[in-house]
């Protein structure tokens, strides 16, 4: 199984978006070479060592727009040629379950990391996390903290914040970190001071949880139930919208046939 803590370097969507202008292999080779050059460290006291990337993430658009399945597979195949000498592990972002299954079953080098937004907007997000766990893929989450997010205002998050005397974002981070199958990525603060403060707050929650095991476990279960409930609601809403769209299409077809029959009757 791959380690839960991997140093990562993202290959942005912009770096592979222009494949129709520049050959895909040229763009990826240029991007990887540039990253390796930036990681090089000169040390007069030690012999030169070839730089390498611990884990490189192929970053896709959140809605997968601008990418076909074949383009993703082609890009992944090119990156595989760098493993294991120059790149130790490969990961990918903003995955759907169907795309991840296709990539996993097709790729020679299996994904070590999948990184998705913590919004549960995708209908199969829970199944995707389970897929990662069953195959030893590290699932990471990002951008989970927002005042508009349901989870930040959820009862277990607010209860933990009060009990541990920490801000809600620290309570949410702590609960996400302890969800099954999730290796959390803390949102990057703008300064080192804020980063240290956030980590300190998370440590405070850990200390509180150690002293209040029963209450901590209850809040963890309540938070997991909240996430599952929100996921189910979004699935239901999506299914409802899909059904409404199909009914509307049927209704339009019926009206069109009625008008057509009326026109024939007039003739």
How far is residue 144's CA from residue 179's CA, in Å, rounded to a whole number? 13
253, part of any domain: no
Q: What is the pLDDT of residues 49-101, one digit of tens each?
A: 788 999 999 988 765 556 788 989 999 999 999 999 999 999 999 888 999 99
- pLDDT of 39 > 70? The answer is yes
Residue 222 resides in a domain? no
204 vs 154: which has the higher pLDDT: 204
Q: Span 237-266, mean pLDDT?
A: 53
Tally of domains within the chain: 1
Q: What is the mean pLDDT of residues 246-264?
A: 55
Within-domain flag for 202: no
Note whether residue 74 is domain-resident: yes
- Residue 263 covered by a domain: no
pLDDT at 181 over 50: yes
According to the model, what pLDDT value does residue 102 have? 95
Segment 198-203 shows an average pLDDT of: 90
What's the full length of the chain, in residues? Answer: 267
Residue 94 lies in a domain: yes
Domain harbouring 136, CATH code? 3.20.20.100
The 10 Å Cβ neighbour count of residue 233 is 12
The boundaries of the domain holding residue 17 are: 1-143
- pLDDT number for residue 191: 73
| Residue 39, in any domain of the structure | yes
Q: Report if residue 67 sits inside a domain.
A: yes
pLDDT band at 150 (very low <50, low <70, confident <90, very high): low
What is the reported pLDDT for 3? 36
- Residue-level pLDDT at 234: 56
- DSSP assignment string, the chain: ---S---EEEE-THHHHTTTTS-HHHHHHHHHHHHHHHH----TTS------EEEEEE---TT-TT--HHHHHHHHHHHHTTTTTTEEEEEEES--HHHHHHHHHH-SS--SEEEEETT--STTHHHHHHHHHHTTPEEEEE----TT-TGGGSHHHHHHHHHHT--HHHHHHHHHHTSTT-EE-----SSHHHHHHHHHHHHHHHHHHHH-HHHHHHHHHHHHHHHHHHHHHHHHHHHHHHHHHHHHHHHHHHHHHHHHHHHHHH-
- CA–CA–CA angle 96, 97, 102 (5° rounding): 100
Burial class (CB in 10 A: 0-12, 13-18, 19+), 34: exposed
CA pair distance 162, 168, nearest whole angstrom: 8
> What are the pLDDT digits (tens) for 5-23?
344 555 566 655 554 457 8
């Amino acid at each position: 199984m791959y380690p839960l803590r991997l140093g990562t370097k993202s290959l942005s969507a912009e770096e592979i978006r222009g494949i129709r202008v520049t050959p895909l292999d040229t763009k990826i080779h240029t991007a990887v070479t540039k990253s390796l050059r930036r990681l090089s460290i000169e040390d007069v006291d030690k012999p030169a060592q070839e730089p390498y990337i611990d884990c490189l993430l192929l970053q896709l658009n959140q809605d997968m727009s601008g990418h076909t399945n074949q383009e993703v597979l082609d890009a992944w195949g090119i990156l595989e040629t760098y493993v294991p000498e120059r790149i130790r592990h490969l990961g990918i972002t903003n995955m759907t379950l169907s795309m991840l299954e296709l990539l996993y079953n097709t790729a020679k080098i299996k994904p070590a990391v999948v990184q998705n937004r913590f919004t549960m907007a995708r209908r199969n997000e829970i199944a995707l996390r389970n897929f990662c766990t069953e195959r030893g893929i590290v699932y990471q989450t990002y951008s989970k903290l927002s005042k508009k997010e349901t989870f930040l205002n959820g009862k277990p998050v607010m209860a933990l914040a009060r009990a541990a005397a920490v801000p809600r974002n620290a309570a949410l981070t702590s609960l996400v970190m302890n969800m099954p199958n999730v290796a959390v990525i803390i949102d990057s603060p703008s300064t080192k001071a804020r980063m240290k403060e956030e980590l300190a707050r998370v440590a405070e929650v850990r200390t509180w949880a150690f002293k209040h095991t029963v209450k901590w476990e209850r809040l963890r279960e309540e938070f997991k139930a909240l996430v599952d409930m929100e996921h189910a609601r979004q699935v239901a809403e999506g299914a409802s919208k899909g059904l409404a769209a199909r009914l509307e299409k049927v209704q339009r077809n019926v009206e069109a046939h009625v008008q057509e029959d009326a026109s024939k009757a007039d003739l």
